[in-house]
Structure 1
Amino acid sequence: MRVFPHDELVAFVYREARLLDERRYEEWLALYADDARYWMPLSPDQPDTGLHGALMDEDRLLLRIRIERLAGRRTFSQQPASRGHHLLQQPHVDRADHERGAYVLRTPFHYVETRRDEQTLFAGWYTHELAVCDDTLRIRVKRVDLVNADAPLGSIHLPV
């Protein structure tokens, strides 16, 4: 199994954000494992169980549907399209199990989403659980902990 050094793990997280910023959603989705989960819990201390609600809790199929909807001509809520920009601090490798090909990174972020004259700022922490699949890094779980996840939030149109 291929071993991924620190620099490649960090570059992977930066690349994911750049693909989203550039609206390259097919390439972004390709970073996810077949059994992936994109999860935005309602609170930072929320345990990882199916017993709690979430702002988003999507598997790869739901992510596929989301990006198809964003690209659709009949998605009137996205005309004009929303734009997003990620500002990431240096990702920190919390765990690296080279033998199992499993890595966990935590990244503080600021994210702005804009559409027409409306701009929304989100801040929080990403936790990426990465796995090696066929000698390639893939996202198994992306957890997005918003600082204000328990506050009333407007629509979040794009993947944060």
Structure 2
Amino acid sequence: MSTAHAPQQNARAGEPVDRDTHFAIERFLIREARLLDQERLHEWLALLTPDIRYRLPVQEIRYRKDQKPIGSATGTNIYDDDYRLLEMRVRRMDTGLVWFEDPKSTARRLITNIDAEWSAREDEVDVYSTFLVYRNRRQRDEAWLVGCREDRLRLTGAGWRLAERTILLDQRVVLDKNLHVFI
């Protein structure tokens, strides 16, 4: 394999990012949340890399001695999407035929506790954040989703882009009627 196209290995892997990089990452996540809150889904898609992996594993109840990573069992994801599937979900919203979104629900995403460190690849960072997503539809139909996200952001010629996201919900049983919302 030619090393001309291989990503550079990062000697700083695991170290916290510098202040300017952290600020840029924070701005990226805040903008992403705003685009999703405003349902500017095509603009949100532009923030993703073509090789993105976007997944929400099922929280498995385990004893403390079982140290397997969450989502490591086969078939334990609520969703495990690539760019094509995410784009299809956005296009589906464009049709106006998503019954759960008519009338439209409103959502607000709060992103906090952002921590970032350099990844093994020179052009990537690993980002940890916590979130609270509130969604309301009609008078009494509301949902609260709380958890953390483990992201990988990649620096491209167009700026930071989301290359990977793993969403971990704190709820053991999700009582929401659907998980159509992007987190």
TM tier relative to shorter chain: 0.7 to 0.9
- Of residues 109, 119, 137, the one that matches 2:160 is 137
TM-score (ref. length: structure 1): 0.87
8 A contact 2:128–2:150 mirrored in 1: yes
Evaluate the alpha carbon distance shift between residue 129 and residue 51 of structure 1 in structure 2; reply closer, same or farther with a 3 A threshold: same
- Runs of 4+ with >3 A deviation: 44-50
1:127 is displaced (CA, Å) by: 1.3
1:70 is displaced (CA, Å) by: 1.5
Q: Which has the larger radius of gyration?
A: 2
Encode CA deviations 1:9-31: one digit per residue, 9 max, x unaligned: 11111111111011110111111
8 A contact 2:134–2:145 mirrored in 1: yes
Evaluate the alpha carbon distance shift between residue 29 and residue 126 of structure 1 in structure 2; reply closer, same or farther with a 3 A threshold: same
TM-score (ref. length: structure 2): 0.76
2: CA distance, partners of 1:122 / 1:61:
25
Q: Aligned residue for 2:48?
A: 32
1: CA distance, partners of 2:120 / 2:59:
31
- Of residues 39, 54, 57, the one that matches 1:23 is 39
Encode CA deviations 1:16-73: one digit per residue, 9 max, x unaligned: 1111011110111111100101111112764465723211111111111111111212
Aligned residues: 157
1: CA distance, partners of 2:178 / 2:71:
23
- Of residues 99, 104, 119, the one that matches 1:76 is 99
List alignment gaps of at least 5 residues for structure 1: none
8 A contact 1:92–1:107 mirrored in 2: yes
1:5 lines up with 2:27 in the alignment: no
Q: Aligned residue for 1:123?
A: 146
The percent of aligned pairs where both chains have the same amino acid is: 24
Q: Which amino acid aligns with 1:58?
A: D
